[in-house]
């Protein structure tokens, strides 16, 4: 009997606990990835271990504690729930497993424990970036290096303009508007250094395409929506406009209400639940805004499960087995 293909959902990762020790371990792995920080190790590692981790880990642990759930990290909770629901939907077609690029469940271990003739890797990053998607491929290739028998390895690079993805986002926004509709809809994406965009990383262009298509699906005029980038780190220039500055400027110019959605995140996590739903809300209100609505990620919704299933089916239909 032919083995079912393995559909591997891969997300960024999360610390095991909201503690400084767990954050040091997680951030060390994350920030040691040359795709994330490209400085030479001889320069970067002393800075990372001697300055950044000792100061950043306690602050990050406090932020994680503010959103931690009884079942653990929201990113892990929602990612696993999505994988479980997708496994039910594809029970006769594929084995579905979740892996993390950093932390647990570790990507290499999941691959080892679920042997398959065909592996389809689906990073949970709608928009491709060398800092995220390419890093997942790096990890998969590293896993293959010492293996004699390799599975067929297939990679879904992005889905930033897939019709079901755009429709799911538009429907989610419409549902939020049933409660209240702000004056401006803001699409917030995780930033990357501007030099990567200058060097040819397609991430920023894909973010803009996603936002444009969703705004089009909603029938919005140009003045009714904006795009911004969050989660800037370090002193170099990142993609602009920056989220905090955008929210402050809108409030100071008289905008009283905004709706914020983060289409670059498949599931809610620290950057959405703490940074965007709380921290940046405070910036907007303190600058004179009155109503700030954060619209949750697609998480394990039926629309997200259907999207993942469609991505799998479209990929398999092109394979010549």
In a domain, 291, yes or no: yes
Asked if 257 and 291 touch (Cβ cutoff 8 Å), the reply is: yes
Can you tell me the distance from the alpha carbon of 170 to that of 189, in angstroms, rounded to the nearest whole number? 16
As a whole number, mean pLDDT of residues 203-226 equals 98
- Same structural domain for residues 236 and 142? no
Indicate the pLDDT class of residue 2, thresholds 50, 70 and 90.
low
**Residue 193 DSSP code:** B
Range of the domain at 215: 163-295
- Same structural domain for residues 142 and 17? yes
Confidence check: pLDDT of 301 > 50:
yes
Asked if 297 and 149 touch (Cβ cutoff 8 Å), the reply is: no
In a domain, 1, yes or no: no
- Same structural domain for residues 146 and 177? no
Non-local CB neighbours of 149 within 8 Å, separated by 6+ positions: none
- Same structural domain for residues 155 and 44? yes
Q: What percent of the chain has pLDDT over 90?
A: 95
Mean pLDDT of the chain: 96
Confidence check: pLDDT of 236 > 50:
yes
Confidence check: pLDDT of 320 > 50:
no
pLDDT tens for 279-300 read: 999 999 999 999 999 999 999 9
Q: Which helix (H) or strand (E) holds 166?
A: helix 163-177
Q: How many domains does the chain have?
A: 2
Q: What percent of the chain has pLDDT over 70?
A: 98
- Same structural domain for residues 310 and 291? no
Can you tell me the distance from the alpha carbon of 179 to that of 177, in angstroms, rounded to the nearest whole number? 5
Asked if 103 and 17 touch (Cβ cutoff 8 Å), the reply is: no
Asked if 268 and 296 touch (Cβ cutoff 8 Å), the reply is: yes
In a domain, 86, yes or no: yes
- Same structural domain for residues 175 and 148? no
Q: Which residue did the predictor score with more confidence, 100 or 147?
A: 100
Please state the pTM of the whole predicted model: 0.95
pLDDT tens for 108-136 read: 999 999 999 999 999 999 999 999 999 99
- Same structural domain for residues 155 and 203? no
As a whole number, mean pLDDT of residues 26-30 equals 97
- Same structural domain for residues 191 and 142? no
Confidence check: pLDDT of 23 > 90:
yes
Which three-class secondary structure state does DSSP give residue 58?
helix
Can you tell me the distance from the alpha carbon of 186 to that of 197, in angstroms, rounded to the nearest whole number? 21
- Same structural domain for residues 10 and 131? yes
CA nearest to 213, candidates 158, 160, 259, 266: 160
Residue 13 is part of a domain; what is its CATH number?
3.40.50.1400
End-to-end Cα, the chain, rounded Å: 14
- Same structural domain for residues 152 and 193? no
Among 2-6, 36-40, 107-111, 123-127, the minimum mean pLDDT is found in: 2-6
Burial class (CB in 10 A: 0-12, 13-18, 19+), 106: middle
- Same structural domain for residues 47 and 138? yes
Can you tell me the distance from the alpha carbon of 150 to that of 155, in angstroms, rounded to the nearest whole number? 15
- Same structural domain for residues 107 and 216? no
In a domain, 208, yes or no: yes
């Amino acid at each position: 009997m032919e083995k079912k293909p393995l559909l591997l959902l891969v997300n960024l990762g999360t610390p095991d606990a909201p503690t400084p020790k767990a954050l040091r371990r997680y951030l060390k792995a994350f920030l040691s990835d040359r795709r994330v920080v490209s400085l030479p190790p001889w320069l970067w590692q002393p800075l990372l271990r001697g300055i950044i981790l000792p100061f950043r880990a306690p602050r990050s642990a406090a932020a994680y504690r503010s959103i931690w759930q009884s079942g653990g990290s929201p990113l892990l909770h929602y990612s696993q729930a999505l994988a479980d629901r997708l496994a039910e939907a594809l029970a006769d077609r594929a084995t579905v497993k979740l892996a993390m690029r950093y932390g647990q469940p570790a990507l290499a271990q999941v691959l080892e424990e679920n042997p398959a003739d065909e592996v389809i890797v689906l990073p949970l990053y709608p928009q491709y970036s060398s800092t995220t998607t390419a890093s997942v491929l790096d990890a998969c290739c590293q896993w293959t290096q010492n293996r004699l028998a390799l599975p067929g390895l297939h990679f879904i690079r992005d889905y930033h303009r897939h019709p079901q993805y755009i429709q799911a986002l538009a429907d989610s926004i419409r549902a939020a508007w049933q409660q209240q509709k702000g004056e401006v809809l803001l699409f917030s994406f995780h930033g990357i250094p501007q030099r990567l965009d200058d060097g040819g990383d397609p991430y920023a262009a894909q973010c803009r395409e996603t936002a444009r298509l969703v705004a089009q699906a909603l029938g919005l005029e140009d003045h009714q929506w904006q795009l911004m980038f969050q989660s800037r780190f370090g002193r170099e220039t990142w993609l602009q406009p920056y989220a905090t500055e955008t929210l402050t400027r809108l409030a100071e110019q008289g905008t009283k209400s905004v709706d914020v959605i983060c289409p670059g995140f498949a599931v809610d996590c620290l950057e959405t639940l703490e940074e965007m739903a709380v921290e940046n809300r405070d910036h907007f209100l303190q600058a004179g805004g009155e109503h700030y609505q954060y619209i949750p990620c697609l998480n394990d919704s039926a629309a997200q499960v259907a999207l993942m299933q469609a991505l799998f089916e479209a990929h398999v239909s092109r394979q010549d087995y």
